[in-house]
Amino acid sequence: MLKKVIVIILLSVLGGTLYADCVYNGRVYPEGALMGPYIWVNGSWIKR
């Protein structure tokens, strides 16, 4: 039972880092942010 609780806590903490905000030039951009021809998706800038 304790192992299940620990696993759930770890997944919830670590799972949130998969879709983390982007820090670029000292500014924080959320998922889906646009920067010129690029969009922040799943942890990387991709060209639209």
pLDDT per residue as tens digits for the range 1-48: 888 888 777 766 665 555 567 777 888 888 888 889 998 887 788 888
Does residue 46 belong to any structural domain of this protein?
Answer: yes
Tell me the whole-structure pTM to 2 decimals: 0.48
How many domains, in total, are found in the chain? 1
For 33, the domain range is: 20-48
Burial of 22: CB neighbours in 10 Å, binned 0-12, 13-18, 19+: middle
The single-letter code of the amino acid at 47 is: K
* Per-residue pLDDT, 15: 58
Q: Is residue 32 part of a domain?
A: yes
What are the angstrom distances between the C-alpha of 10 and each of 1, 2, 43, 46?
14, 12, 20, 29
Distances (CA, A) of 27 to 2, 11, 23, 39: 40, 27, 5, 15
The answer to whether residue 34 is domain-embedded is yes
